[in-house]
Structure 1
Amino acid sequence: MNSATSRTWRQRAEAAAQKAAGLSLWRHRFVRIVLLILALIAFGTLIMVPLGFWPQVLFSACMLGLALVLRPSGGRLVSQILIALSVVISLRYMYWRITETLGFTSLLDALFGYGLLLAEIYALLVLLLGYMQTAWPLHRKPVPMPEDVDVWPTVDVYVPTYNEPLSVVRQTLYGALALDWPQDKLRVYLLDDGRRPEFRELCEEIGCGYMTRDDNRHAKAGNLNAALARTDGEYIAIFDCDHIPTRSFLQLSMGWFLRDSKLAMLQTPHHFFSPDPFERNLNTFQSVPNEGNLFYGVVQEGNDLWNASFFCGSCAIMRRSMLEEIGGVAVETVTEDAHTALKLNRKGYNTAYLGIPQAAGLATESLSAHVGQRMRWARGMAQIARLDNPLLGPGLKLGQRLCYLNAMLHFFFGLPRLVFLTAPLAYLFFGAHVFQASALMIAAYALPHIIQSNMTNSRLQGRFRHSFWNEVYESVLAWYILRPVLSTFINPRRGAFNVTAKGGIIEKSFFDANIARPYILLLSLNLLGMAIGLVMLAFNFDDPDQVMTILMNLLWTLFNVVLTGACVAVSLETRQVRHSPRVEAELPAMVRTSEGLAYRCSTYDFSEQGLGITLPPDIDIPVGTKVEITLRRGDDEASVPTHVVLRQGRRMGVKLDDLTPEQTFHYTQMTFARADLWASSWNTKTPDAPLKALHEVLRIGVRGLGLFGAVVVQNARSWMTRTQSGSDKSSTKLKAER
């Protein structure tokens, strides 16, 4: 066979092989399409097939039983199965709800009924988007930096401030200066929009850059952009002035930028070493996860899978060139951080999330400040929804659009939550039937949906959000975010940036009656509804259908009483007199007295102003004694002069004496800026146990009811006193006239 014939045979063989491969690929695709169609048909059948009461109960019991069997098992596959079961049950409920329960016979029924249906559709949409967002969190790990530090990039560290006290800002600057990074490639700048001389003096004393500007236009975003125009580092690390970075922040985070040339922003968690108002007022600090832990522990890692990680304004790094390409930090909305990430994603750049706390800061001190902060976030998301809606416009993939959509929809929960808190009152007050179905059928469809979705979310979120606490958080905020969200959605140019106050104190406990007014109103309405329902129950005891309807509404109202009671309880601001919160941490230390005696010991907490020390047995160091405390970590150590201010058994409290800038720098390195400090306490809360969480919320709700009763009694006494005083004055006047 000559070479030409051989070549022809090879070409024919290759063509035949390609044809066979193409045919095989086509068959494979065809099989996948057929299987997908069959799966959709089966899925649709499970959702839409009509069932009577007992068949529906049996179906729901089987689904719930399967979920209970699978839930204790580990692995992501089990989580996906639980999500699938929950989606089936929830969509089945909504299909039944829309097709079987809307035959309203009066305008009143229709008004309340359709209002509740819209609230339920909103809740279901958020639930499904949440499943999509968090079903497969990315769990990104650090990328090591090259051994050759000469190739490491230059980094500008921005610390913006406006009206925060010097004591709050000082530790952040020392933490930024302590970052483990080549000093010739690191520049730290305080961006002072308050233009305060004492801040300038501090920066000059410790060797930190100081910047101001002539005006405060565009608030924090304008402050950052003004610095962006005056510096030239390849990367920019941003920290709120109360967020103290650890020494390892840059080394753990920067590696991803060197690996991914399209990475524009990397965000790390916001971690807080002080309790927020919920944790402090309800005494749940370190036992119930912080309100923000769900976002930073679950949602952001889910966003990362879809390349939709949000910039959160602090504890993040941005690539200068890409930030400048979009015109700097976004100024069109009051949530400049999330909007900036959206703009970067629209340009086709990547955003990332590294779920390892590498900085920690102060939580809001008061409930009113906390509510104000959430109102700004809600207003900003409403602005983005109107001005730069992620569902519209170029540059985003479907997963990114849905992640941003869920973030925006979350802040529209105000009206739906208020509907859920008052819905049973429509029947108890006005006799309105919001469901055109029997109580038993409602229970057969609605209860499995509620139980299954809560069980699934407990599995997905249980390390960062305990069951039933989401209802508490949303109930507290619902009234206050309703108006700014709706008004901003109508007129997105309204509203201004407000700075969240940090570093304050609460000298004595007090009940914040102003912030509690809507909760007191809602609690009063629900208590009145329960009283009416009990009377109705007594008069309709011989009608089983009516009794079931009344009982269902009473149980719903009772749950709302618990939630609104918890809202009242959190309004009691507890005393906080420490200017600098203490951080619980066991660190190796050494105590040296002026006589030259030295004792090995350990800390049990520390703060900006002092330390708590656990001494060895039988060591007596009286109050007032001056001692030197040496903190150690590996080969590093820091010694600070102190004096004893407290003795209690083996425990000793010491207060720092006046430290030099160098001593303060080293003290910060060994305490707030320790690389392992915050990461070791992240995700260590007790896992969610739904029944235990329900008991905790019930306990807090009962506490709120007691507080509500005390407020009512106090107001009644005040009214009686004023009435009596007015009566006495009238009597005196009458006698004088006589």
Structure 2
Amino acid sequence: MLDFPLLSPLGSSTVHLLLALGVGMTLPYWVDIRNNLHRAILLSATFLLAMRYIWWRGTDTLAPPGLTLDMLASYALFGFELLAMIGTVSSYIIMSRLKLRSDEADEHAGWWGEDEPRVAILIATYNEELDVLERTIVGARALRHRNKEVLILDDSRRDWLRDYCASQGVRYMRRPDNKGSKAGNINHCLDRLAEDPVPPDFVAVLDADFVPHRGFISRSLALFHDPRVGLVQTPQHFFNADPIQHNLGISQSYPDEQRFFFDHMQPSRDGWGIAFCCGTSSVCRWSALRDIGGLPTESVTEDFMLTLDLQDKGWATVYLSEPLTEGLAPEGLKEYVTQRARWCLGLMQIARSRLGPLARNNLRLRDRWSVVDSVLFWTTSFPFRIAVVVFPLLYWYFGTIVVDAQLADVLSIFGVFFLWGQMVQRVLMPGMVVPILHDVGQLIGAIPISRAAFTGLFKPKGHPFSVTAKGGDRTKITVQWQLMMPFVILLVLTLVGLLLGILFDRFSYQDAGDGKWVVLFWTIYNLFVLSMTVLACVELPRRERHIADLPDRGILVTDGNIRRYWIRSLTIDQARLRGLVLSEGTAGTLRVRDVGDISVEVIARTVDGLRVRLMPTTEQREALLVRFYAEGAAPGTARSQLGGLLAGLGRRLSFSGRR
């Protein structure tokens, strides 16, 4: 018989890969991502490939039993991978459904008739500066919903903030202690509101650094037409880049880390009836809050626990996937990691609480699954990410064979599973998950998050609430050495191990079979991931930047001369005017849409014009804040752009991206 190349094991594997690629390329032409049947078909196929892969790993690739380093390492890595795969499969099931409620909000807009419901807007604050609080308060006052009251809940008891609230005509509250942290602060306010002659019908919660868009209240209230709905959650968008976006120079071409959860996971959770509160940008029915006795204080993530508490009493949480607020993402890498470690710790506390999946309560099976899914995410994804970096080193330095597999099987089983998964993600979440960058986002906080996960599981009580710091001096380059050093060490060990193995044939290919190709692939991949992670630990200077702003026409008046020019890079105190040349110090007025005539002074010439200092009145400053933060579409980008990614990373690597 003739031995055709395509009939060989390697040729057959190539056919499998090409088949997966070919079918995957057709998906955009027939898949409707809003059709739950289409989603279920795609993710069921992914599930079957995942099961095929994990069965193969457990039956064909492990070291023989025995008290050897090979067996211990091989089984340990498989254990990490198996647990991570269980979490991945759980997310596949969740994402097989989708519920979008914009049409429902349109249909039931104004269901209350002529008398608007009374809404209390609670802004909890601890240590934020005025420039952070100002835009939130101004945005809350500018909401279109008329029957509202804005309340500032000050847990630092600052007299200057009390005076500022009086000047803004908003209600100021402080309490004698800080018991219960943020949840306790809100509960204190709820108790005071209950003493008012007319309590609110609904309560909206905003973080101190989150500005509501003008339709936030009216759009959210539309979903309360259903008397079973106790809470409506809306997504969080950010007007600044998160630390990874900023430090890698990809803020305009790569979505922030939260977009996957808010744009894709929460609508899918809502399809199962298990969307949950995320604190800020939510609205809750007053009667539901009083029914459960206020916000729970047993967890540092009181928002997720609030949803479980509501469901335990029969109240539903729903999700409205519309950009109705925007806020400040953590500006520093340390704050970014601390925030996520706090979320992780809080989920572990919930899992061990009276509302945990194994506790006696009135939660539905799907609510218990919701908690288990979140626990799986925090306890498996991040340790597995560390394991993927560490275990190849055992091969290069000790000759330990962790995965014993034939190359043909690797391609036809793992390769097909990986490729198909990427194609499905490309259809269901276009431009959302980018290999290497996605792993950088997980790896950079993997050590403290893993520590928080197991600390919370085994010691759920006695942990203080860690406030995410806002503001501060961000004008200098800062190297986060404590976060960076483990990755520098791993990068050096990986590079040295690879060089020893290839150049000097030390442990590299002895008795490893085709398993060496698996190790080689992950080693090279890890070098890229670790390099980008180290780079992301170098924090670049920041400056105020409004991503949503577009060039606009303006009228400049100087010495009686009227000129029309393009306004670029408009901020609260500066603007660039294109195509105009005037000497420094020239004074005049600049007419800005929806703001008015602002006094300005030329402060510098630029390549294409000049830069002016804005000197707005108090009213004009507030109008600028409303324009920047409370109006328009969502800031940032919702999907990655390959050209922009390559350009941004190229600038960052060449250091030309530094300002």
Question: Which residue pairs with 2:568 in the alignment?
Answer: 604
Identify the match of residue 90 of structure 1 among 13, 34, 50.
Answer: 50
Against the structure 1 CA distance between its residues 81 and 352, is the aligned structure 2 distance closer, same or farther, given a 3 Å change threshold? same
Question: Which residue pairs with 1:502 in the alignment?
Answer: 470
Against the structure 1 CA distance between its residues 621 and 159, is the aligned structure 2 distance closer, same or farther, given a 3 Å change threshold? farther
Q: CA deviation at 1:549?
A: 3.1
Question: Which residue pairs with 1:360 in the alignment?
Answer: 326
Against the structure 1 CA distance between its residues 702 and 454, is the aligned structure 2 distance closer, same or farther, given a 3 Å change threshold? farther
Identify the match of residue 424 of structure 2 among 456, 471, 475.
Answer: 456
Question: Which residue pairs with 2:601 in the alignment?
Answer: 643
1:659 and 1:434 mapped to 2: Cα distance? 67
1:684 and 1:521 mapped to 2: Cα distance? 34
User: 1:54-203 maps to which residues of 2 (within 5 A)?
Assistant: 61-71=18-28, 73-76=30-33, 79-102=39-62, 103-141=64-102, 142-143=105-106, 145-146=109-110, 150-182=114-146, 185-203=147-165
- Does the Cα contact within 8 Å between 1:308 and 1:404 map onto a contact in 2? no
Q: CA deviation at 1:453?
A: 1.9
Deviation string for 1:345-391 (max 9, x for gaps)? 22221112112112212221211111111111111111112223236
User: 1:148-297 maps to which residues of 2 (within 5 A)?
Assistant: 150-182=114-146, 185-231=147-193, 232-257=199-224, 259-297=225-263
- Does the Cα contact within 8 Å between 1:454 and 1:467 map onto a contact in 2? no
Range with greater deviation from structure 2 (330-339 or 141-150): 141-150
Deviation string for 1:3-37 (max 9, x for gaps)? xxxxxxxxxxxxxxxxxxxxxxxxxxxxxxxxxxx
Relative to the length of structure 2, the TM-score reads 0.89
Q: CA deviation at 1:701?
A: 11
- Does the Cα contact within 8 Å between 1:582 and 1:607 map onto a contact in 2? yes
- Does the Cα contact within 8 Å between 1:203 and 1:209 map onto a contact in 2? yes
Deviation string for 1:305-363 (max 9, x for gaps)? 11222211211111111012122112101111111112212222111211211221222
Kindly indicate whether structure 1 or structure 2 has the higher relative contact order, using CA contacts under 8 Å at least 6 residues apart.
2
- 3-state SS of the aligned residue for 1:411? helix
Deviation string for 1:410-443 (max 9, x for gaps)? 2222321111111222222222222344444344
2:67 and 2:416 mapped to 1: Cα distance? 29
- Does the Cα contact within 8 Å between 2:255 and 2:638 map onto a contact in 1? no
Q: CA deviation at 1:700?
A: 10
- 3-state SS of the aligned residue for 2:114? helix
Aligned Cα root-mean-square deviation (Å): 2.9
1:392 and 1:565 mapped to 2: Cα distance? 44
Against the structure 1 CA distance between its residues 596 and 359, is the aligned structure 2 distance closer, same or farther, given a 3 Å change threshold? farther
Identify the match of residue 633 of structure 2 among 659, 671, 678.
Answer: 678
User: 1:393-542 maps to which residues of 2 (within 5 A)?
Assistant: 393-412=360-379, 413-535=381-503, 537=505
- 3-state SS of the aligned residue for 1:229? helix
Q: CA deviation at 1:160?
A: 1.0
Q: CA deviation at 1:622?
A: 3.5
Question: Which residue pairs with 1:585 in the alignment?
Answer: 549
Counterpart residue type for residue 285 of structure 1? S
Range with greater deviation from structure 2 (663-672 or 261-270): 663-672
Count of aligned pairs: 634
- 3-state SS of the aligned residue for 1:92? helix
- 3-state SS of the aligned residue for 2:572? coil
1:583 and 1:696 mapped to 2: Cα distance? 18
- 3-state SS of the aligned residue for 1:236? strand
Mapped pair 1:663 → 2:630: no
Question: Which residue pairs with 1:729 in the alignment?
Answer: none
- 3-state SS of the aligned residue for 1:360? strand
- 3-state SS of the aligned residue for 1:338? helix
Relative to the length of structure 1, the TM-score reads 0.80
2:136 and 2:240 mapped to 1: Cα distance? 15
- Does the Cα contact within 8 Å between 1:175 and 1:673 map onto a contact in 2? yes
- Does the Cα contact within 8 Å between 2:404 and 2:514 map onto a contact in 1? no
Against the structure 1 CA distance between its residues 329 and 318, is the aligned structure 2 distance closer, same or farther, given a 3 Å change threshold? same
Deviation string for 1:63-120 (max 9, x for gaps)? 4432233355442365444323222211111122223334334431221112111111
Range with greater deviation from structure 2 (646-655 or 245-254): 646-655
Question: Which residue pairs with 2:311 in the alignment?
Answer: 345
Residue ranges of structure 2 left out of the alignment (5+ in a row): 1-7, 194-198
1:698 and 1:641 mapped to 2: Cα distance? 39
Question: Which residue pairs with 1:379 in the alignment?
Answer: 345
- 3-state SS of the aligned residue for 2:261? helix
More helix by share: 1
Against the structure 1 CA distance between its residues 700 and 467, is the aligned structure 2 distance closer, same or farther, given a 3 Å change threshold? farther
Question: Which residue pairs with 2:532 in the alignment?
Answer: 566
Counterpart residue type for residue 217 of structure 2? L
Which consecutive aligned stretches of 4+ in structure 1 deviate over 6 angstroms post-superposition? 51-57, 538-541, 692-704
